[in-house]
Amino acid sequence: ITQTETRDRTAGFRHLDLTETAREVIELFDPAAEENGVTLELAASDRMDVVGDRDLLFDAISNLVDNAIKHGGRKGCITVAVWCRADGPVLSVADRGPGIPIEERKHVLKRFYRLESSRNSPGNGLGLSLVAAVASLHGARIEMADNSPGLRIELHFPLTGILDIPASGSEITRASEG
């Protein structure tokens, strides 16, 4: 998390298909979801290009899906969706569980924070802080919303790349750094 927060991982940034990364996460977690009586589905029609570190994005999406399986209620459906809005690509993970109370949503992104209702389940409170660090590194913002029932977490990526990737070089700089 510290490496991600200090931007030590931007060397791995490249153009990638966010939809394909989401598909790979679903394939990985499908057996665990099935074991818990949950269906995983992908709602995405097209390739969605973003600039980023594929491994970090895979880890962030994996964490969101794992949390949805653990805390999203039994016998439900978890939907991972990828689409583009006017302001950029969006990836969301939505479940049908109890959700996160509005007053606790800003806290769950902090390290070691756990909801009272999840203190007896496996985990250490680092997962969503990792998601927040990965989102920040990629210039994405996190939004949490009610899924009626459940929770929907969205990662909103910038429309244009936040990085300048040289054609042949290994040096990557933030576009804002010039």
pLDDT tens-digit series, residues 52-62: 999 999 999 99
User: What Cα–Cα distance (Å) separates residue 43 from each residue in 1, 22, 79?
Assistant: 29, 10, 7
Q: Which domains does the chain have, with CATH numbers?
A: 2-163 (3.30.565.10)
- pLDDT of amino acid 91: 97
Which residues contact residue 117 at a Cβ distance below 8 angstroms, ignoring those fewer than 6 apart?
A: 98
Cβ atoms 84, 123 nearer than 8 A: no
Cβ atoms 117, 67 nearer than 8 A: no
> Which band of pLDDT confidence, cut at 50, 70 and 90, is reported for residue 164?
very low
Least confident of 3-17, 39-53, 63-77: 3-17
The whole-number average pLDDT for the span 40-62 is 93
Q: How far is CA 70 from the centre of its chain?
A: 16
Q: What three-state secondary structure class fits 32? A: helix
pLDDT tens-digit series, residues 52-93: 999 999 999 999 999 899 877 777 899 999 999 999 999 999
Residue 99: CB atoms within 10 Å:
21
Query: Which two tokens mark 8?
Result: 């030590």
Cβ atoms 1, 15 nearer than 8 A: no
